[in-house]
Structure 1
Amino acid sequence: MPTPIVSLADVRLTLASRAGPVEILRGMDLSVAPGEALGIVGPSGSGKTTLLMVIAGLERVSSGTITVNGTALVGKNEDALARFRRDTIGIVFQSFHLIPTMTALENVAVPLEFKGVADALALARTHLERVGLSHRLTHYPSQLSGGEQQRVAIARALASGAKIILADEPTGNLDLDTGQAIMDLLFTVKREDGTTLILITHDPALAQRCDRVASVRDGRIVSGAQP
């Protein structure tokens, strides 16, 4: 088996509350192979989204080790984690998270400009054309349908050359047909680019499109942790 692009070992996250410590992640172990599509399923509150957040370096863990694309995340400062995300991770959320005062083109170009890409607007245009939005470049999010906004979000995630796409219920705010089209697009670009895809979903049929399915319960991965 190739060296995992994502590896978690005994990852734990405990948060303080007025009622006492709350265990969010309770010893998670996970390996993801390069280029693999991994579906993550489980009930609400089981730790699925938190798992994505720790892989992205957006949530600090209490203990354990996390290695993503050869980078050990535990102990990194915020600047180092931000550079890691910029160079490695693309995130597609359920709620799109576009900047409302920017056009589709500008939304995709922003992370490229932060990265110092000289031709950020030209590259952003190329990726929007790739997801079928060549006719929506100058439209603002409020002028786009839900499916079009999610296509902008996918273009933004891909434009900076992300090696790993983290998708958290990316079809949750879309109708059935639009959601199907969005997932077809995600799997197509994953196949064409060789990108690793980690997908949270409540849809069993969608999970089965992945190479492997991991089931999360009560802060633990109870099946499918290894390729």
Structure 2
Amino acid sequence: MAQPIVALADVRLTLPSRAGPVEILRGVDLVIDPGEAIGLVGPSGSGKTTLLMVLAGLEAPSSGTVAVAGQGLDGLGEDALATFRRDNVGIVFQAFHLIPTMTALENVAVPLEFKGERNAFEIAAAQLKRVRLGHRLDHYPGQLSGGEQQRVAIARALATGARLLLADEPTGNLDLETGAQIVDLLFGVQREENATLVLVTHDPVLAERCSRVVHMADGRIVRDRAVVAKAPAEVPA
């Protein structure tokens, strides 16, 4: 049996506040196998995005164990966590988080250059062509539409061969038609790469496109269910 790509055991996160300690995550147990697509749903404040940040090594839990891609994250320093993210995790944010002074090509090449990839710009160009932006390589984020910026973000997330793709409301800043195109693209490339996808969403229809839907409430997983298999998504032409 393949090793899980994600294994969380009794993960808890408590943060201080003026009113006293606030429990954000309250004993989360979660195992995700390679190639799964997980829809992470729940009301605002349920801990979905925080859990995503824990998986990315961007937020350290107060207790419990976190293993991603066979790597235990407990006790790792910032440099080690940065290397872990570079090699294993791709993140797609709602707000794109592109570097405004860099072209689309340069934005996608950045993580490759950090990895020491000699052909960073060739690989970046290939990834942008894959998401149908081969004609936008030299454009800056401010010259791109919201959907195009999100395509750049997806290309950047996939460029280093990430085994785990984390998406936090990736269509939240897009209109319905553009959002649907981004979703089709995201699921299509996830399936092509056999990557594991964890998708935070408030959209129940979008969550149902995943292989599992994990429901969170009040910092806990309250339901975890499989979704009936559907026909594979295609990368849009």
Give the Å deviation of 1:225: 7.4
| TM-score, normalised with respect to structure 1 | 0.98
Structure 1 Cα separation of the partners of residues 203 and 225 of structure 2: 19
Structure 2 Cα separation of the partners of residues 226 and 127 of structure 1: 31
Q: Cα distance 1:82–1:226, how it changes in 2: closer, same or farther (>3 A)?
A: farther
Q: Cα distance 1:226–1:2, how it changes in 2: closer, same or farther (>3 A)?
A: farther
Structure 1 Cα separation of the partners of residues 110 and 179 of structure 2: 26
Residue 12 of structure 2 aligns to a residue whose secondary structure is: strand
Q: Cα distance 1:203–1:37, how it changes in 2: closer, same or farther (>3 A)?
A: same
Give the unaligned 5+ runs of structure 2.
Answer: 228-237
Alignment of 1:54-69 (within 5 A): 54-69=54-69
Residues 50-106 of structure 1 show CA distances to partners (whole Å, capped at 9, x for unaligned) of 000000000011000001010000111111111100000000000000000000000
Contact 2:212 2:225 (C-alpha < 8 Å) held by counterparts: no
Structure 1 Cα separation of the partners of residues 226 and 192 of structure 2: 24
Give the Å deviation of 1:2: 3.3
Structure 1 Cα separation of the partners of residues 2 and 218 of structure 2: 29
**Is structure 2 residue 216 aligned with structure 1 residue 216?**
yes
Contact 1:32 1:226 (C-alpha < 8 Å) held by counterparts: no
Give the Å deviation of 1:226: 8.6
Residue 60 of structure 2 aligns to a residue whose secondary structure is: coil
Give the unaligned 5+ runs of structure 1.
Answer: none
Q: Kindly report the root-mean-square deviation, in angstroms, between the aligned alpha carbons of the 2 structures.
A: 1.2
Percent identical across equivalent pairs? 71
| Counterpart position of 2:98 | 98
Structure 1 runs of 4+ with >6 Å offset: none
| Counterpart position of 1:79 | 79
Letter in 1 for 2:172: G
Give the Å deviation of 1:199: 0.2
Letter in 1 for 2:49: T
Return 207-216 or 17-26, whichever deviates more. Answer: 17-26
| Counterpart position of 1:51 | 51
| TM-score, normalised with respect to structure 2 | 0.94
